[in-house]
Amino acid sequence: MKTRSIYILLLGMVLLPIYFGSCAQDRWALYAEETKSDRWIDDTMRVWYYWNQSIPNTNDLNYFQEPFTFFSSLLSDEDGKNGTPYSTIDSLIPATRSIPYTDYSYGFQFTTNRVEGNDTALYAHVLYVVPESPAGEIGLQRGDWIMEMDGEPITENNYGRLYGDGSMQLTIGYYDAENDTIRSYNDGPQTIASARSIQDNPIHYYNIYQSGGKQVGYLVYNHFSAGATDSGTEYDDELRSVFQQFASGQVDEFILDLRYNNGGLVTCAQLLCTMLAPASALGQQLSYLEYNSNFQSVSLLLDENLIQNGANLNLSTLYVLTSEETASASEMLINCLRPFMNVVLIDSTTVGKNVGSVSFTNPELMLTMSPIVCKIYNSQGESDYEDGFQPDVSINENDDLARFLPFGHPNELMLSTALSIISGEQNPTQSSQLRTTVQHNSISRKASHAVEINR
Spell out the per-residue pLDDT of the chain, length 455, in tens.
455 555 444 445 544 455 455 555 566 565 566 789 999 999 999 999 999 999 999 999 999 999 999 999 999 999 999 899 999 999 865 544 444 555 789 999 999 999 888 878 899 999 999 999 999 999 999 999 999 999 999 999 999 999 999 999 999 999 999 999 999 998 889 999 999 999 999 999 999 999 989 999 999 999 999 999 888 999 999 999 999 999 999 999 999 999 999 999 999 999 999 999 999 999 999 999 999 999 999 999 999 999 999 999 999 999 999 999 999 999 999 999 999 999 999 999 999 999 999 999 999 999 999 999 999 999 999 999 999 999 999 998 888 999 999 999 999 999 999 999 999 987 777 777 788 899 999 998 876 678 999 76
DSSP annotation string for 254-319: EEEE-TT---BBHHHHHHHHHHHS-GGGTTSEEEEEE--TTS--EEEE--GGGTTTS-----SEEE
Q: How far apart are CA 241 and CA 203, in angstroms?
A: 11
Per CATH, the number for 102-197 is 2.30.42.10
CA dihedral for 225, 228, 232, 233, sign (positive or negative): negative
- Residue 179 has, within 13 A of its CA and on its CB side, a CA count of 6
List, in sequence order, every residue forming a beta bridge with 184; answer none if it has no partner. 173
Q: State pTM to two decimals.
A: 0.90
Please give the C-alpha separations between residue 248 and each of 126, 178, 308, 315, in angstroms, as whole numbers.
Answer: 33, 42, 15, 14
Q: Where in the chain are the domains?
A: 102-197, 201-431+447-452
List, in sequence order, every residue forming a beta bridge with 31; answer none if it has no partner. none
Alpha helices in 55-100 (DSSP H): 67-74
Amino acid present at 87? S
Amino acid present at 131? P
Contact of 402 with 77, CB cutoff 8 Å: no
pLDDT in tens, 215-231: 999 999 999 999 998 88
pLDDT in tens, 318-331: 999 999 999 999 99
Look at phi and psi of residue 405 and say left if phi exceeds 0, alpha if psi is from -120 to 50, else beta: beta
The class level of CATH for 201-431+447-452 reads: alpha beta
